[in-house]
Amino acid sequence: MFEGLDLHEIYSLVLGWITYLILIALAILLFIKSGKSIKFQEKLLKFSKKNKSLLIHLSLAVFILSLVAFGIMSYMISGLDTSTRAVSPQKLVIIEIDDYWNLEDTGEYFDKYGYNMETFRAVSDIIDKHNFVATLGVSPHIFIEETRETFDLKDDPIMISYLKELQDGGYELAMHGYSHCRNKYYCPKYEEVYFNVMQGKTEIEQLFGRRLITYLPPGNQWTTEQYENVKDAGFKFIANTHVPVAYYDEDVIITPKGYDPIYHYDWYGLDFRHTDYVEWIDAYEESDFFILQLHCNTFDTQEKLDDLDNFLAHLKENNVKVTTYSEAYALLIKDRQFSPLPKQF
């Protein structure tokens, strides 16, 4: 029953059962004590007239014991959350940019959605202007739904050169799925299979000469199988999952989904509406560990680029530490007794 669940998930499941017990016991108590002339109740109480007191006391006992169990389980979950939560020693901001793949062979399909080198450079130029760095979600393959074809990143020298340029400037490359394929009707289980996770990781590492430690799921979607395979493949930072806060899973750090300033976004959509950068600041100020999740193709107007520029200027003025996932990992994990990260081949 509990196979594949971690301790937090088991505790939460038990807590849910206890909550149901509390509600059932309370409902029975109110039903019996209401005294309303309901045929079903009359038949029930007539049938159990001698046991009416027993029913009341039993329901009350279940109610009280369930409340106590609820308190104990809530305390255990709170303690578990406290012991495993990844708390930053200082305010951190991570800029994550997704969707780097082969553009040379897919321009015919993706250029109309803003996937072109001009938009990629427009965003990275602003980040460079403020002397910040970002983590880039790279897919070693890209699946085209219109043609059911897959194209390899290794066949796009311009994109590879661009990514190497950013990597040399301190940017981190992360794996953003095997082929960014999530369509349930068209896609094989590219993202869940261990071989694909490991093969994709190896291909990116060989292309760029660095070990990968960060995995960013395509479409922010997860399955338990994929999660376990990503961990088994050696990734140490797994971002944009279903968790409510960042926490440790042994020597792996898991984070919730980052803040996306796009409130209307679709894979095959052309209407990209960003919130004003002031709202970005509000979201950032609520967290000591803030992840800004971006997609370059959505910066299709100067106004949106200005929003990014203004937000980063605000961070600069306030001396906020902007880091990559791998740098954040080193900061968050340093007090825990695990082996150091491999930096390169």
| DSSP symbols for 5-44 | --HHHHHHHHHHHHHHHHHHHHHHHHHHHH----HHHHHH
Any domain includes 205: yes
Closest CA to 336 of 93, 89, 127, 37: 89
Question: Which residues 6+ apart lie within 8 Å of 337 measured at CB?
Answer: none
Q: Please tell me what DSSP assigns to residue 336.
A: S
> Cα(first)–Cα(last) distance of the chain, in Å?
42
Looking at the structure, tell me whether residues 80 and 174 fall in a common domain. Answer: no
335 or 19, higher pLDDT? 19
> Distance between CA 78 and CA 111 in Å, rounded?
48
Residue 16 sits at φ, ψ, to 5 deg, of: -65, -40
**Residue where one domain finishes, among candidates 84, 109, 132:** 84
What total number of domains does the chain contain? 2
Nearest to 101 by CA among 181, 165, 147, 159: 159
Mean pLDDT, residues 41-47: 58
Q: Tell whether 164 is covered by a domain.
A: yes
Query: 339 lies in a domain?
Result: no
Residues 198, 285, single domain; the answer is: yes
> 106 and 18 in one domain?
no
Same domain, 180 and 75: no
Is 124 in the same domain as 260? yes
Whether 96 is in a domain gets the answer: yes
- Residue 339 is classified by DSSP as P
Task: Say if residues 339 and 236 touch (Cβ distance below 8 Å).
Answer: no
Nearest to 84, CA basis, from 285, 250, 286: 250
- DSSP letter string over 234-297? T-SEEEEES-SS-EEETTEEEEEPPB-SEEE--TT----EEPPHHHHHHHHHT-SEEEEEEEGG
**Are 130 and 147 within one domain?**
yes
Q: Let me know: does 227 contact 197? Beta carbons within 8 Å.
A: no
Q: What is the mean pLDDT of residues 330-339?
A: 66
Residue 1 inside a domain? The answer is no
CA 184 to chain centre: 20
Q: Could you give the 3-state DSSP secondary structure of residue 213? A: coil
Note whether residue 343 is domain-resident: no
Examine the domain organization and report whether 17 and 68 are in the same domain. Answer: yes
44 and 104 both lie in a single domain? no
Question: How far is 151 from 102, CA to CA, in rounded Å?
Answer: 7
Residue range(s) defining the domain that contains residue 30: 7-84
pLDDT at 268 over 50: yes
User: What percentage of the chain has pLDDT greater than the value 90?
Assistant: 42
- The structure tokens 């000591």 sit at 288
E strand residue ranges, 45-157: 92-100, 135-138, 141-144, 149-152
Instruction: Measure Cα distances from 325 to 174, 231, 245 in Å.
Output: 9, 16, 15
Of 25, 22, 13, the closest CA to residue 73 belongs to 13
pLDDT bin (cut points 50, 70, 90) of residue 272 is confident
Indicate whether 344 belongs to any domain.
no
Do 76 and 174 share a domain, yes or no? no
Output the pLDDT for position 345.
Answer: 35
Please write the tens of the pLDDT for every residue from 233-253: 999 999 988 777 888 888 899
Q: Are 242 and 9 in contact (CB under 8 A)?
A: no
* Residue 337: band (very low, low, confident or very high) from pLDDT cuts 50, 70, 90: very low
For residues 225 and 131, membership in a common domain is answered with yes
| Residue 172 to residue 166: CA distance in whole angstroms | 8
Q: What are phi and psi for residue 152, nearest 5 degrees? A: -95, 140
pLDDT in tens, 84-118: 677 777 889 999 999 999 999 998 888 888 899 99
Q: Is residue 73 part of a domain?
A: yes
Q: Are residues 216 and 291 in the same domain?
A: yes
pLDDT in tens, 54-85: 677 777 888 888 888 888 777 666 555 555 67
How high is the pLDDT of residue 234? 93
Output the pLDDT for position 126: 97
Local confidence band at 314 (pLDDT 50, 70, 90 cut-offs): very high
Find where tokens 């009707």 sit. 185
- Give the residue carrying structure tokens 């043609």: 147
281 φ/ψ angles, rounded to the nearest 5 degrees: -65, -40
In this prediction, residue 281 carries a pLDDT of: 93
CATH of the domain at 111: 3.20.20.370
Domain boundary among the residues 84, 107, 128 is at: 84
Among 84, 115, 138, residue at a domain's last position: 84
Phi then psi dihedrals of residue 182, to 5 deg: -130, 0
The verdict on 69 and 203 lying in the same domain is: no
